[in-house]
Amino acid sequence: MSISEKLKKKLVQLGVPADRHDAASLAALFPGEFKISDASLTAAEIANVFLTFVEHGLITAPRAQARPLQSHVCHFYHSDAEALSMCAAFLNEGLAAGQRCLWVPPSWIPVERARAALRAVRPSVDEAEAAGRLLFFTDDQVHLDGAGAMRDAGGIIRFWLEQEQEALARSFRGLRIAGDGTVLVSSAGWKTGVDYERRCDEAFRGRKILALCQYGVKDVPAARLAEVLSGHGVGVARAAGAWRDLHPGVGASAAFRLLKPR
């Protein structure tokens, strides 16, 4: 059974592009535990199951996962699974748009797990890496210079700007960066991290850079999260099953207290 034009239109509206309407690509939209690929369903049948699951909130559509982003946005997450899902959706959009994508997973998440999360929404991850469209970095590669010395905030920002120039020189349409700052904001040096975020927000404006910074809300005090937010144009978080925009200023600490798990 082929997919009807009406069904195709609904898929596109949910962020599933036309070149991913085959059975294998649609099955990859589901978490592995659903075992959709083992059910011997046609593309049309999988599409209908997908639409039903999205309607009932059992899974999240790609367009709902990837929030509209300013040049420098912060995502406050409740679990590693949520963080990986957001990064995967964010970078998938960048790959589709012809941007070079850089992912710096936190030290506790192996690169292969991050790669698998992206592969769930974009099966051609290996091809993207081989072509240089997708690069994974470690914390050390970003925060240490060639001599192994710690970069200061200005040095890290220069690293990102150099990455942007390299991406543009290779005819990419821009640069997308995804990284996690939870450890930094939880540490004694968190003031330095906040200063870095504020300087990034200024440095990235008007450039062909989209940056997604992630922070876990579980173990970080609300006041610190509010200060991190002050270094971004906007923040996003899920609450009561829906995305909420968070804006710097008075009331931010109270908002984070409500977001924290009880």
Tokens of 214: 């992630």
Judge contact between 175 and 164, C-beta under 8 A. Answer: yes
Residue 60 banded pLDDT, cuts 50, 70, 90: low
Q: Can you name the residues that pair with 243 across neighbouring β-strands? A: 238
User: Would you say the pTM of this structure is higher than 0.85?
Assistant: no
- Over residues 110-158, the pLDDT tens digits come to 999 999 999 999 999 999 999 999 999 998 888 777 787 777 888 889 9
pLDDT at 67: 46
Residue 68 has pLDDT above 80, yes or no: no
pLDDT at 245: 81
The per-residue DSSP string of 198-262 comes to HHHHHHHTTSSEEEEEEEESSSS-HHHHHHHHTTSSEEEEEETTEEEEE-SSTTHHHHHHHHS--
**Residues 103, 106, 109: CA angle, nearest 5 degrees:** 95
Residue 75 banded pLDDT, cuts 50, 70, 90: very high
Tokens of 84: 């990986």
* Helices (runs of H) and strands (runs of E) counted in the chain: 13, 7
The per-residue DSSP string of 22-58 comes to SHHHHHTTS-GGG-GGGG---HHHHHHHHHHHHHTTS
pLDDT at 262: 61
pLDDT at 63: 57
pLDDT at 143: 77
pLDDT at 168: 94
Sheet strands (E) in 32-80: 72-77
- Over residues 243-256, the pLDDT tens digits come to 788 887 766 777 77
Tokens of 245: 């925009």
* Strand, coil or helix: 155: helix
User: Which DSSP state fits 187?
Assistant: S
Q: Which residue did the predictor score with more confidence, 252 or 52?
A: 52
